Structure 1
Amino acid sequence: MKFYNRFIRTFQDLPDHTTLLVHSLSGCLLHCYGCHNYDEIIANTPRQYKTKEDLYNYLEKSGFLFDAVMFSGGEFLIDKIEDITVLLEQVQSIFNGKIIVTTCGIYNTKIKHLIEKELVDGIHIDMKLPYHVLDPKEDQKIFQDIMGIKASHQLIENLLESIDTVIQHNSPLDQVRTVKYPILADTFFDEIRDYIEQRKSYFQSDVPYYLNQFQYV
């Protein structure tokens, strides 16, 4: 596995924690509107990169400076689940802090695997659109404009199941979040918020939901 050549220290991505942000260079199935990482990490993958051994060494020497490691992308879960498992098991063996994975939600079975094997302390999942009220045929342009993909019923099913998986996990370090894309009407975000609240009520979950403002580059 390859990672962005700079591990980033952040105080914002995980409230009340000092976090080491690690970006995977394995790619992403999406090309989301205004994605900050697409050009540098996905479309033009850097020639210089860090390996998993670099990460292990860094954590062994400097892990005391952080109380969490967050794996992001691109899409961190795009790699083989066997490789992801080995990586996270090794990180757990040398790092005493929390492990967070951010994901778009396409890989539901991988999310379940990480939770079942207790390889993560939290999942941060993006709900980019109100999937539950969109039709992959009639609303294809919306999926293309926001997520850069051709939607299908199976894709929507996977995304919604991943949302439920995270809500059911109900860890204090889980998050469901949405970017307030400026090209969408407020009704889209109202639908997402209401859906999340309904699912939280159904599963008796306290997972926080965040509506993040779109950041122009």
Structure 2
Amino acid sequence: MITRLGLIKTSLIDYPGKVAAVLFTAGCNFYCPYCHNPELVSGPVPEDFLSMEDILRFLEKRRPVLGGVVITGGEPLLHPDIGVLTGAIRDLGLEIKIDTNGSFPAKLEQLRPDFVAMDIKTSFSNYSRVLPSGTAAEQIVRKIRESLKILIGNGIPHQLRTTIVPGIVAEEDFDMIIPEVRGADSYLLSGYRNQRTLDSSWAEVDPYPAEVLEGIAEKLRLAGVPAQIRTN
């Protein structure tokens, strides 16, 4: 259950075109060694997280200036009671963006957020690189494909995202990714930042040069997928 949530009171970059508050849930079913929010993957809920009641009181007070609320993690759809939170936010008249790894398609279809940012970690044949040991990668990939169909087929506004991490994803992986994502609204590429990582050894991994991201973005655009590179 969601007992407490992290909060960024105001963001101008996390919800496209909107001033938003950002909520963080703890817990994730993936294990990306380069994750820059390691405290949200496993272990206790961070001490500075607030109760859901406090979060909702804050949102009610701030709703005149907020365009929406971003729910991120961790993996927010991991929580069975995520619908309680999204329902309370909708009751305040605020739109909802959810950040997800795509492995909970039924929950995604049930909630139907106003906007979804979904991570594509790497080519589907390499997903074992971002999963806990013993996790059946084939089942996860099947669910991710289902989530893509929901987003692209049902017209839910969305953005696909990949962090371009050496050892996890390379430019040639996009030859396999592109057929899976045709028809997507947009695709955001982010460079790898190695200052803070779940697996400390990944702090030694150097990011790709900028021209690698530019080459991937151009490959996506040539395939008809609008792509941009995150610069902030």
Q: TM-score, normalised by structure 1?
A: 0.79
Which deviations, in whole Å up to 9, do the C-alpha atoms of 1:109-162 show, x marking residues without a partner?
1111112xxxx211111111221xx1xxxxxxx434334453332222111111
For the 8 Å contact 1:176–1:208, the answer to whether it is kept is yes
Change (3 A) 1:45 1:86: closer
Which deviations, in whole Å up to 9, do the C-alpha atoms of 1:163-210 show, x marking residues without a partner?
2211123234x111111112232111343234312xx1xxxxx51122
Change (3 A) 1:44 1:110: same
Q: Paired residue for 1:19?
A: 20
Give the 3-state SS of the residue equivalent to 2:54 in structure 1: helix
Where do 1:33-48 residues align within 5 Å? Answer: 33-39=33-39, 42-48=42-48
Deviation at 1:76, TM superposition (A): 0.5
**CA–CA distance in structure 2, aligned partners of residues 41 and 3 of structure 1:** 15
**CA–CA distance in structure 2, aligned partners of residues 61 and 12 of structure 1:** 21
Give the 3-state SS of the residue equivalent to 1:43 in structure 2: coil
Q: Paired residue for 2:156?
A: 171
Q: Paired residue for 1:104?
A: 101
Q: Paired residue for 2:57?
A: 57
For the 8 Å contact 2:28–2:41, the answer to whether it is kept is no
**CA–CA distance in structure 1, aligned partners of residues 131 and 19 of structure 2:** 30
Deviation at 1:19, TM superposition (A): 1.4
For the 8 Å contact 2:3–2:52, the answer to whether it is kept is yes
For the 8 Å contact 2:29–2:75, the answer to whether it is kept is yes
* 2:87 aligned to which of 81, 86, 89: 89
Give the 3-state SS of the residue equivalent to 1:65 in structure 2: coil
Q: Paired residue for 1:138?
A: none
**CA–CA distance in structure 2, aligned partners of residues 48 and 188 of structure 1:** 39
**CA–CA distance in structure 2, aligned partners of residues 123 and 153 of structure 1:** 23
Deviation at 1:91, TM superposition (A): 1.1
For the 8 Å contact 2:5–2:49, the answer to whether it is kept is yes
For the 8 Å contact 2:72–2:98, the answer to whether it is kept is yes
What letter matches 1:17 in structure 2? K
The gaps in structure 1 that reach 5 residues or longer are 135-141, 201-205
**CA–CA distance in structure 2, aligned partners of residues 42 and 64 of structure 1:** 35
**CA–CA distance in structure 1, aligned partners of residues 4 and 13 of structure 2:** 21
Return the structure number with greater helix share. 1
Give the 3-state SS of the residue equivalent to 1:20 in structure 2: strand
Q: Paired residue for 2:123?
A: 130
Deviation at 1:72, TM superposition (A): 0.5
What letter matches 1:123 in structure 2? V
Percent same amino acid among aligned pairs? 24
For the 8 Å contact 1:23–1:72, the answer to whether it is kept is yes
**CA–CA distance in structure 1, aligned partners of residues 173 and 97 of structure 2:** 27
What letter matches 1:100 in structure 2? K
The gaps in structure 2 that reach 5 residues or longer are 196-232
Give the 3-state SS of the residue equivalent to 1:106 in structure 2: coil
